[in-house]
Every structure is written in structure tokens, then in C-alpha cells.
Amino acid sequence: MASAGDLETKFKKAADFFKAYPKGGKIQLSNDQQLKFYSLFKIATVGKCNIAAPGVTDLVGKAKYDAWNGLGDKSKNDAMTEYIQALMVVLNEHDKTPAEETLLKEIAV
């Protein structure tokens, strides 16, 4: 298994790729997939959900809160590992660019 520092480096590469990916790109995530990435990112970077639940009229905020809060006490390392693995699955479902091929090799856990 990767050391904590290696895992953090791989997670940062994965998160940076995801953040920079164009919204109109070939990979289109479902709402559930987007919430999964969001909640795992929050656990990995912030920890356990530490905000109050949004009001009932804030549907997007409520969905994000529920996803993050639903992960409970998941560890930072588990969240980083799951985030990387989820990104690898998504990338492997499509034809990959050379940059994506390189990323997959760099973030393999």
C-alpha cells in the first residue's frame, strides 16, 4: 500500500485532473457520481461533515450535505483511496488520451 505522503500526492493529482476537466468533455458524470466525488473530496480535505444542514429549499446544497454527511467517520486515507479508484473506473470506461493514460499510471493505488 502507498505511504500517506504518496497517497496524498496521488489524490492531489486526481483531484487536480478532475477540477480542470472541461464540463463539456467526453466524460459526463451522473448526479450520483458527482455527489460521490464531492463527498469523498470533502472527507479527504476537510474531514467529517461539520456544517449545518441547508434549508429544504436548497436542493443542491441538501444533496451535497447528505452525500458528505452520509460518509460519517470515513477516514481521510479511505476517502482519498476511494476517490482515486472511482476516477480510475470512470477513465477506464472511455477511450483515453495520452495524458489520461499517464495519469492512470501515476495515481494507481
Domain residue ranges of the chain, discontinuous segments joined by +: 4-107
Q: How far is CA 5 from CA 77, 80, 87, in A?
A: 10, 11, 19
Residues 55-95: tens digit of each pLDDT: 999 999 999 999 999 999 999 999 999 999 999 999 999 89
Can you give the pLDDT at residue 1? 52
Can you give the pLDDT at residue 88? 96
Q: Are 39 and 108 in contact (CB under 8 A)?
A: no
Can you give the pLDDT at residue 5? 83
Can you give the pLDDT at residue 24? 85
Q: Are 6 and 32 in contact (CB under 8 A)?
A: no
Residues 1-10: tens digit of each pLDDT: 557 789 999 9
The CATH number of the structural domain formed by 4-107 is 1.20.80.10
Can you give the pLDDT at residue 23? 84
Residues 39-56: tens digit of each pLDDT: 999 999 999 999 999 999
pTM: 0.90
